[in-house]
């Protein structure tokens, strides 16, 4: 059975742009090769950290939404753990409530109460 996931990961900022694209491509290919259906890959780009990680002050953030089996997640996280170019990662498994919110996001129909909160954060 496939579940819906969100994966956020940080790529080492010392890499060249084409090397960063290669890491993103490798992760996307890994997902697809293991039967995942990628919904969206959103590159947030270079962001400053609130605190130093691995003696670095920034990193290249990437966010991906996809459907996959739990076995492929274990495999993906192992691959990311051993890849020195990936500094950190976080995989979230969506529950029903998160899925409804995601569907509303895709349709640009998030209720105004949520829109207000995101505007306040900016």
Q: Is residue 58 part of a domain?
A: yes
Q: Is residue 63 part of a domain?
A: yes
Q: How many distinct structural domains can be found in the chain?
A: 1
Write down the H helix ranges in the chain.
17-33, 70-82, 96-106, 112-121
**Model confidence over 32-78: pLDDT tens digits?**
999 999 999 999 999 999 999 989 999 999 999 999 998 889 999 99
Over residues 77-93, the mean pLDDT reads 95
Sheet hosting strand 37-53, strand order edge to edge: 37-53, 56-69, 2-11, 86-93
Over residues 7-27, the mean pLDDT reads 95
Over residues 22-27, the mean pLDDT reads 95
**What CATH number should be reported for the domain holding residue 17?**
3.30.70.60
State how far the Cα of 68 lies from the Cα of 92, in Å rounded to an integer. Answer: 12
Q: Is residue 117 part of a domain?
A: no
* Percent of residues, the chain, with pLDDT higher than 90: 70
Quote the domain boundaries for residue 73: 2-94
Buried b (16+ CB within 10 A) or exposed e, 63-72: ebbbebeeeb
Which residue would you say has higher pLDDT here, 55 or 120?
55
Q: Is residue 20 part of a domain?
A: yes
């Amino acid at each position: 059975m496939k579940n819906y996931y969100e994966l956020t990961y940080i790529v080492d900022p010392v890499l060249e742009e084409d090397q960063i694209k290669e890491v993103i491509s490798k992760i996307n290919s890994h997902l697809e090769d293991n039967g995942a259906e990628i919904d969206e890959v959103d590159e947030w780009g270079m962001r400053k950290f609130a605190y130093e990680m691995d003696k670095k002050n920034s990193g290249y953030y990437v966010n991906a939404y996809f459907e996959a089996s739990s076995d492929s997640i274990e495999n993906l996280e192992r691959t990311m753990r051993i890849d020195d170019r990936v500094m950190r990662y976080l995989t979230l498994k969506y529950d029903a409530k998160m899925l409804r919110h995601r569907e509303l996001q895709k349709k640009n129909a998030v209720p105004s109460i949520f829109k207000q909160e995101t505007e306040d954060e900016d």
